[in-house]
């Protein structure tokens, strides 16, 4: 290969490298999400730009239709009246529920709705002593006399029963020794440490429908 050819090859290689660098920079710039507050997203939605917005799920604002989850989030340290609607086409984790912290990444459409492509939920772990709690067997043994009364009950989360809020019964509480079980209704946030087989302590009441309506779910501690 003569010197002229070598120079040409070096020049071509240099152009290719520069083009690759520009392409990577362009792609990287378009995939990076801009972090925004809920107020910023509500006031200046910047439709089409990829953003990441964090907030707490507004009480009972969520619903699921055709496998699409919609909900609203607010800033717990800001104006609770300033809210952002989120649409998520995907399966929410079992931690999703009222007031859970939701980290939403996606693009805001022309209607001001965040079309979320990535959803991460976080909730602090809570622990409760089970010494004064009933077992599931004891709870069911009281029958109608305990309907509507606030009690504590402890048991394990049944295998394959754990769901996100808004998808029916949240989980099945199982008495591993006696074999008794009761479906649990709970729309609040769950810690990601609550998993199938976890021992939990619930506060709430048993209804005449045979379901336990929980107001609080904590890990046994």
113 shares a domain with 176:
no
Is residue 161 included in any domain, yes or no? yes
CATH code (residue 175) = 2.40.50.140
Instruction: Provide the mean pLDDT of the chain.
Output: 88
* pLDDT tens, position by position, 120-140: 999 999 999 999 999 999 999
Distance CA 23, CA 12 (A): 17
Which of 125, 149, 172 is the endpoint of a domain?
125
202 shares a domain with 148:
yes
102 shares a domain with 74:
yes
82 shares a domain with 164:
no
Is residue 27 included in any domain, yes or no? no
89 shares a domain with 151:
no
* pLDDT tens, position by position, 34-62: 999 999 998 877 777 899 999 999 999 99
Q: What secondary structure letter does DSSP report for 99?
A: T
Distance CA 124, CA 211 (A): 26
Distance CA 7, CA 11 (A): 6
Cα angle 208-211-212, degrees, rounded to a multiple of 5: 110
Domain that holds residue 51: 34-125
Q: Would you say residue 25 has pLDDT above 80? A: no
The percent of residues above 70 in pLDDT, for the chain, comes to: 86
109 shares a domain with 150:
no
- Alpha helix ranges (H) inside the chain: 3-31, 38-43, 136-141
Distance CA 109, CA 126 (A): 37
Q: Would you say residue 193 has pLDDT above 80? A: yes
Q: How far is CA 75 from CA 99, 161, 163, in A?
A: 10, 31, 25
119 shares a domain with 148:
no
Q: What secondary structure letter does DSSP report for 144?
A: G
């Amino acid at each position: 290969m003569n010197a002229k050819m070598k120079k040409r090859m070096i020049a071509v290689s240099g152009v290719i490298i520069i083009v690759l660098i520009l392409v990577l920079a362009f792609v990287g710039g378009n995939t990076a999400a801009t972090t925004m507050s809920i107020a910023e997203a509500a006031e200046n939605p910047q439709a089409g730009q990829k953003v990441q917005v964090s907030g707490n799920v507004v009480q009972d604002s969520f619903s699921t239709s055709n496998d699409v989850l919609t909900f609203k989030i607010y800033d717990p340290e800001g104006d609770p009246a300033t809210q952002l609607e989120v649409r998520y086409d995907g399966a929410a984790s079992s931690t999703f529920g009222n007031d859970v912290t939701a980290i939403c990444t996606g693009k805001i459409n022309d209607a001001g709705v965040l079309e979320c492509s990535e959803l991460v939920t976080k909730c602090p772990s809570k622990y409760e002593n089970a010494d004064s709690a009933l077992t599931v067997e004891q709870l069911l043994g009281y029958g109608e006399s305990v309907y509507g009364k606030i009690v504590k009950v402890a048991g394990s989360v049944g295998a394959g029963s754990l769901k996100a809020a808004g998808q029916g019964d949240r989980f099945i509480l199982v008495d591993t020794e006696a074999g008794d079980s009761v479906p649990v209704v709970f729309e609040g946030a769950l810690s990601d440490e609550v998993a199938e087989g976890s021992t939990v302590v619930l506060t709430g009441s048993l209804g005449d429908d045979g379901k336990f309506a929980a107001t609080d779910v904590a890990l046994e501690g």
